[in-house]
Copies of this chain bind each other. A is one copy, B any other.
Amino acid sequence: MTETSLREDLQNLPRTDPALDRLVEEIIGRVADKWTMLLIEILTEQECCRFGELSRACPGISQKMLTQTLRAMERDGLVTRMVYPVVPPKVEYRLTDLGLGLSKAFCGVWLWAEANFEKIEKARSDYAAKAAVQDPS
């Protein structure tokens, strides 16, 4: 596929009405966030996870953010939350079909990032070099 035809493809996406656009943008803003993406990836790799497992699989996340993100995902219908009334508590999370669909959609972005990280790093060092020449502090 040439670059020109690709651009045409993208330009020919169905244009919807503005209200719908804003809704879709809101959803993307909500869903395209670091922790959500990471959790979706983890839950794609391992279908069923407890809170502690997710916490360990997601290095750097705080309990607070983990709870918060999982709640938002549950609210949006991306994960199910199974609470077992036992002690100590046990809660299992898994992706819904909707969540799995998002996982599949976002997969393209992961692949892009994996395929292009070298170009991005090069762009960054080029930019830094250029800035250093123009502004030798």
- Chain A residues with a Cβ under 8 A of chain B: 3, 6-7, 10-11, 13-14, 16, 20, 23-25, 27-29, 31-34, 37-38, 44-45, 47, 74-77, 97-98, 100-114, 116-117, 119-124, 126-127
> Which of B10, B28, B34 contacts A37 (CB under 8 A)?
B28
Q: List 15 A-B contacts (CB under 8 A).
A: A3-B100, A6-B104, A10-B44, A10-B45, A10-B100, A24-B113, A25-B34, A27-B113, A28-B37, A28-B109, A29-B34, A32-B34, A102-B116, A105-B112, A106-B109
- Pair A100/B29 contact, Cβ less than 8 Å: no
Kindly list chain B residues whose C-beta atoms are within 8 Å of the C-beta of A101. 112, 116
Name A27's closest neighbour in chain B (CB-CB). Answer: B113
Kindly list chain B residues whose C-beta atoms are within 8 Å of the C-beta of A98. 116, 119-120, 123
Kindly list chain B residues whose C-beta atoms are within 8 Å of the C-beta of A75. 123-124, 127
- Pair A11/B44 contact, Cβ less than 8 Å: yes
A14 to chain B, nearest CB (A): 8
- When all copies of this chain in the complex are counted, the total is 2
- Pair A6/B109 contact, Cβ less than 8 Å: no
Instruction: Please name the 10 residue pairs, one residue from A and one from B, whose CB atoms are nearest each other, closest first.
Output: A77-B123, A105-B112, A105-B108, A32-B32, A29-B34, A75-B127, A108-B108, A24-B113, A27-B113, A105-B109
CA distance A3 to B97 in the complex (A): 8
